[in-house]
Structure 1
Amino acid sequence: MTLPENIAGFIKAQNDLDSTAFANYFTVQATVSDEGSSYSGREEIKSWIQEATEKYNMQLTAINFTQTGSKAKLTVEVRGTFPGSPIVMNYHLEMDGSSIRSLKITD
């Protein structure tokens, strides 16, 4: 599977545990919804992913990616130090050009 450069970079930033690079794939006003909580803007997104990464040492492997217009769905296997690892999750993305405007993570 060939991923768009921005999505491949987003996954690489997560796997490199680089919360700054990860947050830079989002627009300035982006939102993330995960586990019943929402985060707005790059600083909140950076803090959220840094905390989650430190807690769970998450690594992503892309399973599938589809995109129609500005809407995309990335299915990933997530491994880490959390109960039930690994799990498959769906990342529902809304894109703004090559940046992510919103991300909703579901099972």
Structure 2
Amino acid sequence: MNLPKVITDLITAQDKFDSAAYADCFTEKARVFDEGKDHVGKVEIENWNAETNAKYNTVVKPLNYEEHGKLGILTAESSGTFPGSPIVLRHNFEFEDGLIKSLRITL
């Protein structure tokens, strides 16, 4: 599967539980929506990722990727210590200048 470098970097950071490297994949004012909550800006995204890593130990296995201009949809299996693991989630990306401008994680 041919993924954009920023998504490959994001998955690598997630699988290493490296929240700083994860946040570096985003623009300064990026927005992440997950579990019904918005997380805005790199600092908030890094803190959110660190918290979820501590709680769930989530790793991501890409299953499919589609790209439409500045938008991308990654379907991936997420597994960890959360109820219902593993689960297949859709990661809806918007890109800007080679970084992630927004990420919406949905079922």
State the TM-score, normalizing by the size of structure 2. Answer: 0.97
The unaligned stretches of length 5 or more in structure 1 are none
What's the offset of the Cα at 1:69? 0.7
Identify the residue that residue 83 of structure 1 maps to in structure 2: 83
Partner of 2:52: 52
What are the ranges of 5 or more consecutive residues in structure 2 without an aligned counterpart? none
Instruction: Give the 5 Å matches for 1:35-74.
Output: 35-74=35-74
Q: Which runs of 4+ in 1 moved over 2 A?
A: none
Deviation at 1:19, TM superposition (A): 0.1
Q: Write the distance in 2 (CA, Å) between the matches of 1:97 and 1:77.
A: 27
Superposed CA offset, 1:13-64 (max 9, x none): 0000000000000000000111111010000000001100110000000011
Q: How many residues align?
A: 107
How far residue 6 of structure 1 moved from its aligned partner, in angstroms, is: 1.4
Identical positions, percent:
43
- CA RMSD, aligned part only? 0.7
1:10 matched to 2:10 = yes
Give 2:103's aligned amino acid. Answer: L
Cα distance, 1:9 vs. partner?
0.8
2-structure distance, mates of 1:91, 1:2: 16
Alpha-carbon shift at residue 98 of structure 1 (Å): 1.1
- Give the AA of the match of 1:85: S
Contact 2:56 2:80 in 1 (8 A): yes
Say if 2:6 and 2:100, in contact at 8 Å, map to a contact too. no
Q: Which residue of 2 aligns with 1:103?
A: 103
Aligned to 2:14, the other structure's residue is in SS state helix
Shift in Å at residue 97 of structure 1? 2.3
